[in-house]
């Protein structure tokens, strides 16, 4: 489910970021421009997941990178959206949803279940 939300959010946001890039960059470079946002986001995501799977606490810098690039992505998508506040919210929601899903996945991976002792 997490991968579905992240993939769908990436697909939705990519076109908006690409359109923003084509206004100021040459056509060949504009296709790669969204990677400036998704590259650090993906690396931070993998770092956080690796730490969670190995039972280590994640460094604050990885979460800071995730939050920073998610907010940049959401802001650029929302600003580019034409229309009212609802349209801007819909456009900016996918990166925030992906961030929330990652946080919940990490929480599930790091949650330790405490066993209740048998009462005898």
pLDDT in tens, 13-57: 777 777 777 777 777 777 777 788 888 988 888 898 888 888 887
Handedness of CA 37, 42, 43, 45 (dihedral sign): positive
pLDDT of res. 119: 57
Report how far residue 120's alpha carbon sits from residue 116's, in angstroms, rounded to the nearest whole number.
Answer: 12
> Residue 81 has what DSSP assignment?
-
pTM of the model: 0.76
Note every long-range contact of 33-36, with CB atoms under 8 Å and residues 24 or more positions apart, other chains counting. none
Comparing 10-14, 64-68, 106-110, the range with the smallest average pLDDT is 10-14
pLDDT in tens, 46-76: 898 888 888 887 778 999 999 999 999 888 8
Look at residues 58, 69, 6 and name the one whose alpha carbon lies nearest to residue 36: 69
Handedness of CA 25, 26, 31, 36 (dihedral sign): negative
Q: What are the Cα distances from residue 25, in Å, to 40, 43, 101, 103?
A: 20, 25, 32, 34
Higher-confidence residue of 59 and 94: namely: 94
Buried b (16+ CB within 10 A) or exposed e, 81-93: beeeeeebeebbb
């Amino acid at each position: 489910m997490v991968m579905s939300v992240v993939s769908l959010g990436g697909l939705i946001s990519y076109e908006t970021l690409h359109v923003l890039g084509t206004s100021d960059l040459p056509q060949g470079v504009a296709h790669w421009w969204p990677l400036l946002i998704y590259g650090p986001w993906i690396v931070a995501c993998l770092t956080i997941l690796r730490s969670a799977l190995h039972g280590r606490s994640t460094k604050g810098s990885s979460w800071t990178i995730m939050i920073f690039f998610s907010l940049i992505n959401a802001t650029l998508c929302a600003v580019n959206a034409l229309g009212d506040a609802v349209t801007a919210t819909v456009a900016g929601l996918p990166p925030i949803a992906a961030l929330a899903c990652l946080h919940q996945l990490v929480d599930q991976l790091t949650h330790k279940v405490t066993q209740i002792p048998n009462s005898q």
